[in-house]
Amino acid sequence: MPGIMEALGLKKATEQEPTVEAWRLEDAAYRLETANENLARLQLMYEDTGWESLTAAGQREFTREGLTRNAELCRVMFLANPLMKRGLGIRASYVFGQGVEINARATGDDGEQDVDAVVKAFLDDEGNMDAVTGAQARISLENDLGTDGNVFLAHFTNPLTGRVKVRPLPFDEIVEIISEPGDKTTPWFYRRRWVETTLTNTFGSLSREYEALYPALKYQPATKQKSYNGVEVRWDSPILHVKVNPYGSKVWGVGDGFAALPWCRSYKEFLEDWATLCRALSRIAFRASSSKAKASQVQRAGLEALNKMGAGSSVSLGEGQTLEAVPKTGATLDSESGRPLAAMAAAALGVNVTILLADPGVTGARAVAETLDRPQYLELMNRQEVWSQAYRASCGYVIEQAVIAPRGPLKGTVTREDDRLLVDLGDTDATVEVIWPELEEIPLDILMGALEKANDMDVLPPVEKFKLVLRALRVRDIDDLLAAMVNDAGEFIPPSAAADATAGDLAAKAFRDGKDPAAALK
């Protein structure tokens, strides 16, 4: 048997050198052992407590229930934590602080339909302004993106007149998004579950739970069922889903404040610890010592009386007694030591730490605090583009319904393409423009100089030049001024020519508009 083992190379001969086959077998065994050790090491690394907690936390945080919990935490931090409140407030101010201009190109001139009037009626509707299109509503919805990461805008539509009322639905009430089979990025329905409380005849309250399916804004199938599995479908209330920081299958968004949560909390705890330390150091300002026990008792009584005296008092000590200040060397902690924590929160929220801490005179140069760097500038422009896309989609739906409805104010043809209705207004341009002011303030003299050069080159139509001048001067609601500068034929009238208009011209224009010519001359 030993001879066979030696012949197979599994055992060294006592007097012979190992054969080539034996060397190869030992090398393979060594490599296999090394590979097993590396595999075990990788397994231990993966099973490390830190990695396990990270992956497990990720699985919990990004479920539907986890997203709701995260949104609730961000909302509380937005209300209670100054760092989170200021960070999200800065973002919202940069995005909507200077307003936004939304209009349609077709204004009813040159025989085209007045699409702009339909869009303005939708935007200026009192209920729509309070809920979505007004200044306060825009800031509120931007903050919702910061805390929830998702905004759901339901478009309640009158099928007879085409009038649209837009209202935001709470993120917590949308429990499921049903997408096209095989395509997670194309939503079909949003499942909503909510509770409504109504008053009874006895001045009590009655709560009832509801559940319904709302179609996506661009999902318009030819066959519309009234319900699916007993759940009602509200076809006249499609939803536009605005989301930021999508992850995974891109179905849900994550709030901007989620990444800043631990750092906002850490900075708060750091300042609390710093205040506690300062309070502790201020409690014991002096220490007294005595060589005799009886003298120590008398000294303690004297110190108690000294604590009740004001600053600048004197004390008389006996022989062998001392009173000296407690040294603070090594016990102090600079509050600026927590600035890296605030910087991490600023990075998560996409703002400068100097602006976030509201103290540019101490934590950074004032010039840096008052300007945007290129990455932050592009990030805020990207958020504006997110809202631009949402506004164009919403206004586009309003224009479509104004054509589809039997009593709608617009006329056109409707065609179908798969599960989408397409509207054609003929010669009328249905384009909706969303114009944002510049994030960085450009000096007025530079703007006007550029407009003067453009005027000399004669590369822009007069109406566009007039628009640019009004925007450079930060004039709001320029539509009325533009209407006064255009005649019935849609031609631009220079302000000087409009001022020189004769009384006959004013009376004739009033007569053509169906107004009293005499009233126009007053």
Per-residue pLDDT at 4: 47
Choice among 276-290, 302-316, 401-415 with the minimum mean pLDDT: 302-316
- Say what the pLDDT of residue 184 is: 86
When pLDDT is averaged across residues 456-478 and rounded to a whole number, the result is 66
Domain positions in the chain = 2-46, 62-256, 273-307+322-372
Query: Helices in 405-500 by DSSP H: which ranges?
Result: 444-457, 462-472, 479-484, 495-499
HEC assignment per residue over 209-239: EEEEEEEECCCCCCCCCCEECCEEECCCCCE
Please say whether the dihedral angle defined by the alpha carbons of residues 27, 28, 34 and 38, taken in this order, is positive or negative: positive
Looking at residue 331, its pLDDT comes to 55
Rounded distance, CA 166 to CA 224, Å?
Answer: 22
Ranges 341-350, 398-407, 417-426, 442-451: which has the least confidence: 442-451
Alpha helices in 164-291 (DSSP H): 261-283
Q: Of 172, 174, 155, which is closest to residue 164 (Cα–Cα)? A: 155
Q: Is the pLDDT of residue 360 over 80?
A: no
According to the model, what pLDDT value does residue 358 have?
Answer: 77
Give 439's pLDDT tier (boundaries 50, 70, 90).
confident
Q: Which residues of 62-87 are buried (b: 16+ CB within 10 A; e: fewer)?
A: beeeebeebbebbbebbeebebbbbb
Please report the pLDDT score of residue 54 as a whole number: 44
Please provide the average confidence, as pLDDT, over all residues in the chain. 78
Question: What mean pLDDT is predicted for residues 80-86?
Answer: 93
What pLDDT is attached to residue 374?
82
Give 250's pLDDT tier (boundaries 50, 70, 90).
confident
* Comparison of pLDDT for 436 and 455, the residue scoring more: 436
What would the two tokens of residue 73 be? Answer: 């935490």
What is the helix (H) or strand (E) element at residue 164, kind and residue range? strand 164-169
Per-residue pLDDT reduced to its tens digit, 187-201: 999 999 999 888 777
List residues bridging with 243 in a β-sheet. Answer: 150
Please give the residue that has the higher pLDDT: either 295 or 115.
115
Please determine, for residue 46, whether its predicted confidence score (pLDDT) is greater than 70: no
Q: How far is CA 63 from CA 70, 75, 239, in A?
A: 10, 18, 22
Contacts for 173 with CB less than 8 Å, ≥ 6 apart: 192, 193, 194
Token pair 């750092």 in the structure block, residue: 263
Residue 12 Cα to chain centre, angstroms: 73
Which is more confident, 58 or 298?
A: 298
The residue type found at 69 is R
Q: Which tokens belong to 34?
A: 């090394």
pLDDT at 203: 66
Find the largest Cα–Cα distance for the chain: 131
Residue bearing the bigger pLDDT, 56 or 304 = 304
pLDDT at residue number 52: 47
Is the pLDDT reported for residue 118 higher than 60?
Answer: yes
10 Å CB burial of residue 342 (0-12, 13-18, 19+) is: buried
* 156-168 tens-digit pLDDT: 999 999 999 999 9
Q: What is the pLDDT of residue 10?
A: 47
pTM score = 0.71
Can you tell me whether residue 373 is helix, strand or coil?
Answer: coil
Q: What is the pLDDT of residue 472?
A: 63
Best mean pLDDT range from 227-241, 265-279, 352-366: 227-241
Whether residue 17 contacts residue 23, with contact meaning beta carbons closer than 8 Å, is answered with no
- Average pLDDT of the segment spanning 209-237: 94
| Measured CA distances, 360 to 348, 388, 390 (Å) | 19, 32, 35
